[in-house]
Amino acid sequence: MKKALFLGWLLVLPVLARAQDFLLVINDADPSAVTITATGNNATVSSANTTLYDGSEMLGFFTSALTGDIEGSLSSGTLTPSGTGTLPYDTYYVDNYSGGNVDLNLYYFGTGPADPNESTPQLFSTLQAAYSGTATADLSNETLFLPAVGAEGNVLSGWSGNVGVVIGQWQVVPEPANAGLAVGLGALAVVFGGVGLAKRRRRRAAG
């Protein structure tokens, strides 16, 4: 029995360790109110070359490439990247860094191009939580392309217009409240068995 438990933990511990890589977890059970929640985990790589305006990108978030310029305001939330004080992301944008419009970018737009807070640097570090808080987005128009529970991918600092580095991962979970335990408890169960603006933003940036 002890040997079985020991072998079980040998399988579980790497999975639990990998759970520390997840920085953002998503609940898209209600497409009109998709929640993106910070896990409180540290970035896996330090990065300081992006701003609030560049934001962060969940690579390969949508299951298929979307068409057109898709962007909107986050309806509510406090999702804040490290090093930016109390300034949360307020806008989402469907980006094409991965080669198609499948990436979900979160960023700060504020009052527009003249907002000085847009240039606030994001300071991701392996020594502190990458994000705090939560955000909510209405992605009901993209319902057919939302990822299923268990889907995961990389989190990039920045966007296609100013690329940072991959600082961790995102994952879709059933409930935001269970985000920090989703991967770990899943592993335990197996072993013991028994998450109009586009034109003014991105075209402005391109111009």
pLDDT per residue over 150-169, tens digit each? 999 999 999 999 999 999 99
Q: Which residue has the higher pLDDT, 3 or 17?
A: 3
Mean pLDDT of 143-148: 98
Given a cut of 60, whether residue 172 has pLDDT beyond it is: yes
Q: Which residue has the higher pLDDT, 77 or 7?
A: 77
pTM of this structure: 0.80
SS3 (DSSP) at 44: coil
* pLDDT at residue number 77: 85
* pLDDT at residue number 104: 98
* pLDDT at residue number 5: 40
7's tokens:
């072998």
* pLDDT at residue number 137: 97
Given a cut of 50, whether residue 203 has pLDDT beyond it is: no
* pLDDT at residue number 138: 97
* pLDDT at residue number 97: 97
Question: Radius of gyration of the chain from Cα atoms?
Answer: 18
Cα gap 85→48, rounded to integer Å: 15
* pLDDT at residue number 47: 95
- Our CA dihedral for 199, 200, 201, 203, rounded to 10 degrees, sits at 50
32-90 pLDDT, tens digit per residue, is 999 999 999 999 999 999 999 999 999 999 999 999 999 999 988 899 999 998 899 99
Which residues, including other chains, have CB under 8 Å from residue 194's CB and lie 6 or more apart? none
Given a cut of 90, whether residue 117 has pLDDT beyond it is: yes
Per DSSP bridges, beta strands 22-27 and 162-172 are: parallel
List the domain boundaries for the chain: 21-206
- Our CA dihedral for 53, 89, 141, 204, rounded to 10 degrees, sits at -20
Least confident of 30-34, 88-92, 109-113: 109-113
Beta bridge partners of 148: none
Mean pLDDT of 10-25: 60
Mean pLDDT of 97-112: 95
Count of alpha carbons within 13 Å of 17, Cβ hemisphere only? 6
Beta bridge partners of 137: 34
Which residues, including other chains, have CB under 8 Å from residue 15's CB and lie 6 or more apart? 183, 184, 186, 187
What are the two backbone dihedrals, phi and then psi, of residue 188, each rounded to the nearest 5 degrees? -60, -40
Task: Provide the 10 A C-beta neighbour count for residue 173.
Answer: 27
Cα gap 12→187, rounded to integer Å: 6
Q: The tokens 């057109």 sit on which residue?
A: 68
Beta bridge partners of 131: 81
Cα gap 93→83, rounded to integer Å: 22
